Structure 1
Amino acid sequence: MTEAQKPADLSAVIGELEKIVEEKPNNVMARHHLGLIYRQAGRIDEAIAQLEKAIELDNQSMESMINLGAIFFDRGDTDRALELNQQALAISPDMAEAHVNIGLIRQHRGEVDKAVACYSKAVQIDPKLITAWINLTSAYTMLEQDDKAVDAARQAVTLEPDSAMARNNLAVALYFKGDFAESQRNMEKAKELGYSVDPRFVEALKTKLA
C-alpha cells in the first residue's frame, strides 16, 4: 500500500478486507492490514480497534504493536506508545524499528541521552536503517555533540544520497560544527530534493557566509 493511493482505491481495499474480516473474524493479518488502511484513510478509531483485535488474537503480532504504537504516538499518548514498543521488544529484542520508536519517544520527552542509546542500539542491529541515523543526528545536535552529529548525518547520506531529510540534517550539523560552505551545499541539495528548509536556518547560514 502506498501513500499515493487515491481515496477510491482505499475504499475498494477497505471493502475487500472488511469482507474477509466478517467472514473470518480470527484472521489476524486481515485485521492488521485493515487497521493500516483505516489509518491511511484517516479512520483512526477504527484503525485502533482492528490493530488491538489483531494483538488480542495473536499476542506475538509485533507489527501490529509497532503500528498501533505509532498511532498512539501521533495522538500524544507516549505512555501507550512506549508500552506497545516495549511489548514488541520483549518478543524480539533485536527489532531495530522498535528501538528507534522508543528513542523517538524518549527524545520527545526530553530524555535525549536515553534516545541516543536507543538509536545507537538500532544501528548496531541494522547499520543500514536510515531512520536511526537521521534521528541519531538530531539527538546529537540537541546534545551539542557536533562531531558525532556530522558523522551520523554522513552515514545517513551515504545510505540514501537522495534523502532530503538526511541532507538537511547534515546541513544543520555542519552549520553547528562551523563548516558553513559545506552546510550550504547540503542545504541547497535538500531544497533541490524537495525539503522545506526552515527560513531561519537559511538566513542564519547566509549571515555566516556573508
Structure 2
Amino acid sequence: MAEAVKESNIQDVIAEQEKIVAEKPDNVMAHHMLGLIYLRAGRSEDAIRELEKAIEIDSQSMESIVNLGAIYFGRGDYDRALELNRRALKISPTMAEALVNIGLIEQQRGHAAEAIESYEQATRIDPRLITAWLNLASAYTMQQEDAKAVQAARQAVELDPDSGMAHNNLAVALYFSGAYQEALHHLERARELGYSVDPRFSDGLKAKALQ
C-alpha cells in the first residue's frame, strides 16, 4: 500500500511540473526540475529529453549538463558522460564536482592515473569535498600507492567522522599498508555506522589481525 501511495504521489508531482513546463516552455529551471522528477520516477528517456531541452534553452546551464552526464554515466555511456562533464568544466573551471565526475569515469575505465589527476585537482579547488578524498583513496589503492591512499582516506574521515564509507575506505587502505589492527578498528566503525561491509574483506582482515 505504501508503495502505491508513493507512486501516486510522484505521478501528481509529475503532472504538476508538466503543467508548469506547458505554461513556461522557455523556462530552463522548469525543464530541469521536470527532468529530475522523471529521473526519480525511473523515466530516464523523458529525463534526458527535458535536461537536453534545458541545455538547448541555456547552453550554460551547468546543473542540467552535470545531471545529464550522471544519467549517461549510469547507463555506461562513459564517452557522453565525459563530454558533458568536460563541457561543464569549460563553463566553470573551478567546478570541483565535475572534476570528481571525470575522475569516476576514468576510474571506471581503469585509467587510475587519469582519475588521480582529476581527483587531486578537485581537492585543491575544494579541500572539503569529501567525495574527492574518498575516490582519491580508492584510486591510489588501485595504483598500489598505499601510503597516499591512507593519507587521502584519513582526510575523508577527518572531514566526516560519521561516514561509514570513509571508515571503510580507510580500513581498505590500512589493510594494504599492513596496519591490520587499525584497519579492523575502522572497519568495525564503518559497520557501526550502517555501512554494508564486504564479509570476505572482513573475514580476511580479521585473519590477518589475529596473526
Amino acid at match of 1:72: Y
Instruction: Measure the CA separation in 1 of the matches of 2:183 and 2:148.
Output: 15
After superposition, give the CA deviation of every residue in 1:124-165 in whole Å (9 maximum; x if it has no partner).
000010000000000001011111001100110111111111
Name the SS for the 2:94 alignment partner. coil
Instruction: Measure the CA separation in 1 of the matches of 2:6 and 2:178.
Output: 45
Q: Judging changes above 3 Å, is the alpha-carbon distance between structure 1 residues 44 and 170 closer, same or farther for their aligned structure 2 residues?
A: same
Name the SS for the 1:189 alignment partner. helix
After superposition, give the CA deviation of every residue in 1:81-120 in whole Å (9 maximum; x if it has no partner).
0000011111111100000000111111111101000000
Deviates more, 1:7-16 or 1:46-55: 7-16
Does residue 165 (structure 1) correspond to residue 162 (structure 2)? The answer is no
Does residue 154 (structure 1) correspond to residue 128 (structure 2)? The answer is no
Match for residue 142 of structure 2? 142
Instruction: Measure the CA separation in 2 of the matches of 1:15 and 1:81.
Output: 29
> What's the offset of the Cα at 1:40?
1.1
> What's the offset of the Cα at 1:6?
3.8
Instruction: Measure the CA separation in 1 of the matches of 2:107 and 2:8.
Output: 37
Instruction: Measure the CA separation in 1 of the matches of 2:81 and 2:68.
Output: 7
Match for residue 7 of structure 2? 7
Instruction: Measure the CA separation in 1 of the matches of 2:85 and 2:130.
Output: 19
State the 4+ residue runs in structure 1 displaced beyond 2 angstroms: 5-13
Deviates more, 1:7-16 or 1:84-93: 7-16
> What's the offset of the Cα at 1:13?
2.2
Match for residue 70 of structure 1? 70
Amino acid at match of 2:44: I
Instruction: Measure the CA separation in 2 of the matches of 1:42 and 1:98.
Output: 24
> What's the offset of the Cα at 1:9?
3.5
**If the length of structure 2 is used for normalisation, what is the TM-score?**
0.95
- Unmatched segments (≥5 aa) in structure 1: none
> What's the offset of the Cα at 1:14?
1.6
Instruction: Measure the CA separation in 1 of the matches of 2:128 and 2:28.
Output: 30
Identity among equivalent positions (%) equals: 64
Match for residue 188 of structure 1? 188
Please list, as runs of the form range in 1=range in 2, the aligned pairs for 1:108-119 lying within 5 A after superposition. Answer: 108-119=108-119
After superposition, give the CA deviation of every residue in 1:33-74 in whole Å (9 maximum; x if it has no partner).
111111111111100000010001100001101000000000
Please list, as runs of the form range in 1=range in 2, the aligned pairs for 1:1-210 lying within 5 A after superposition. Answer: 6-210=6-210
Instruction: Measure the CA separation in 2 of the matches of 1:48 and 1:166.
Output: 32
- Unmatched segments (≥5 aa) in structure 2: none
Name the SS for the 1:71 alignment partner. helix
**If the length of structure 1 is used for normalisation, what is the TM-score?**
0.95
Name the SS for the 1:25 alignment partner. coil
Amino acid at match of 1:37: I
